[in-house]
Structure 1
Amino acid sequence: MASELKVEQEFSKVIRERRSVRKYDSSWKIPDEEIKEILAEAILAPSSSNLQPWRFIVITDQEIKAKLLPIAHNQAQTTESSAMIAVLGDTEAYSNAETIYGQASAMGLMPEDVAATMAKRSREGYSSLPKEKLEDIALVDGGLVSMQLMLAAKARGYDTVPMGGYDAAALKELFQISDRYIPVMLIALGKAAVEGRATNRLPLEDVVHWNGFQA
């Protein structure tokens, strides 16, 4: 019970101390291996039918960051943070269904015949959806993995800020991203030079409705 309480307290501390940080210590460099560890924790997030549509571009090269700067509307964290992470959503994630469910079967997570059935159902079901619906799914799942990434970073003592202010078309052009993928957001990752500003939240009773909804 004591260990469970400690974990709960640590998690509560992480979510309460996370801030959107826009000023970073540009001399602080997070090792690539540690960024990989953060991403490995991020991709444990849930996704529709476990198709995991997220893709990431990790940008640590200063010359590439400089090219990204005007695309991100000259926000200073673009070049000052240790890394910029572009989160993308794969609108054809269903094409990986056989691989994903095949791995699940090989790991003993489900019988082979169940895996084959689920893979077939996922591929056929999602491939029949309109592009707009597939984009909606990719955006929702991309939001889930992005939040998990930011919390994983904070748990390691690092700071982040989600960035929706950027030119998505220019981002796709810079990295030659095909129309199969849609930009979800940019995330700056690094060590704060100036602590992020604390923000307030609406009272719980203003945002939670029980067994119904009244605007």
Structure 2
Amino acid sequence: MNQKNNDFSKIMLERRSVRHYDETFKIPHDEMLEMIQEAITAPSSVNLQPWRFVVVESDEMKAKLKPLIRFNTLQNETSSAMVLIFGDMRCHDRGEEIYDLAVEQGKMPSDVRDEQLAAIIPYYENFSKEKMTSVVTIDASLAAMQFMLVARTHGYETNPIGGFEEDLLAEAVGLDKDQYLPVMIISVGKAMTDGYESSRLDASDVTTFK
């Protein structure tokens, strides 16, 4: 493993949004895959894992991405990669594959797999577009947050980006825009500057006990 920092308090409480990175450094593909593998231990609704990642790292693809990310061009120009996270609106098409794997790994009996798939797949098939959008956005966002924390364990910094042309992003990277919903872009790399500290409301101001 390529982890450099295992102090969870530092990883979480000292996380900052970094916009300027060492543009000469590229994260190796095996380490990027390792980070994504660690990030997708995140939970998802009925374990359908709707997150899909596109790692934009080449000059050619970054140039294609540039007009779609509004005022976030410094991150695009200097980061090791821009990690595009999509939610698969047809994630249930892989339900059988996922549940078969659980059986193969001894994590689920085959009769439980059959029973759950018989309930889950029709349930998802009947979702409205709005409901499916909500489900995959929540699940993909959980993986996105974990990716940012995982990146810090590997010695990198990130910046979550929501300001982009949502209707153009999927097709720009060769995906079907009707199936793949853009959820977030995360820049990642070796920080050249510190991120700004920001203020947070007190927990007592945003919490109600009943």
TM range (shorter): over 0.9
Q: Distance in 2 between matches of 1:10 and 1:200?
A: 22
User: Structure 2 matches for 1:1-20, cutoff 5 A?
Assistant: 10-20=7-17
Q: Distance in 1 between matches of 2:167 and 2:195?
A: 29
Which residue type is aligned with residue 129 of structure 1?
F
Aligned twin of 1:29: 26
2:56 to 56, 59, 70: 59
Does residue 138 (structure 1) correspond to residue 136 (structure 2)? The answer is: yes
User: Structure 2 matches for 1:95-134, cutoff 5 A?
Assistant: 95-134=93-132
Aligned twin of 1:157: 155
Aligned twin of 2:3: none
Instruction: Report SS of the residue matched to 1:76.
Output: helix
Q: Distance in 2 between matches of 1:30 and 1:172?
A: 23
Aligned twin of 1:68: 65
Aligned twin of 2:195: 196
Aligned twin of 2:208: 209
- Of residues 101-110 and 72-81 in structure 1, the stretch that sits farther from structure 2 once superposed is 72-81
1:172 Cα deviation (Å)? 2.2
Structure 1 residue runs without a partner (length 5+): 1-8
Q: Distance in 1 between matches of 2:148 and 2:120?
A: 29
Aligned twin of 1:94: 92
Query: How many pairs are equivalent?
Result: 203
Please identify runs of 4+ aligned residues in structure 1 that moved more than 4 A.
none
Structure 2 residue runs without a partner (length 5+): 1-5
Q: Is the 8 A contact 1:58 1:85 kept in 2?
A: yes
Q: Distance in 1 between matches of 2:119 and 2:125?
A: 10
Q: Is the 8 A contact 1:88 1:181 kept in 2?
A: yes
Deviations 1:68-100 (A, max 9, x none): 111111521112100111100011111111111
Q: Distance in 1 between matches of 2:46 and 2:197?
A: 36
Instruction: Report SS of the residue matched to 2:11.
Output: helix
Q: Distance in 1 between matches of 2:179 and 2:64?
A: 23
Q: Distance in 2 between matches of 1:96 and 1:147?
A: 23
Q: Is the 8 A contact 1:98 1:120 kept in 2?
A: no
Deviations 1:18-63 (A, max 9, x none): 1100111101211111111100001100000000000010111111
Q: Give the TM-score taking structure 2 as reference length.
A: 0.94
Which residue type is aligned with residue 172 of structure 2?
L
2:35 to 10, 33, 38: 38
Q: Distance in 1 between matches of 2:19 and 2:185?
A: 13
1:67 Cα deviation (Å)? 1.2
Identity of aligned residues (%): 42
1:137 Cα deviation (Å)? 0.3
Q: Distance in 2 between matches of 1:160 and 1:170?
A: 23
Aligned twin of 1:5: none
2:173 to 175, 184, 197: 175
Q: Distance in 2 between matches of 1:88 and 1:117?
A: 29
Q: Distance in 1 between matches of 2:10 and 2:191?
A: 17
Q: Give the TM-score taking structure 1 as reference length.
A: 0.91
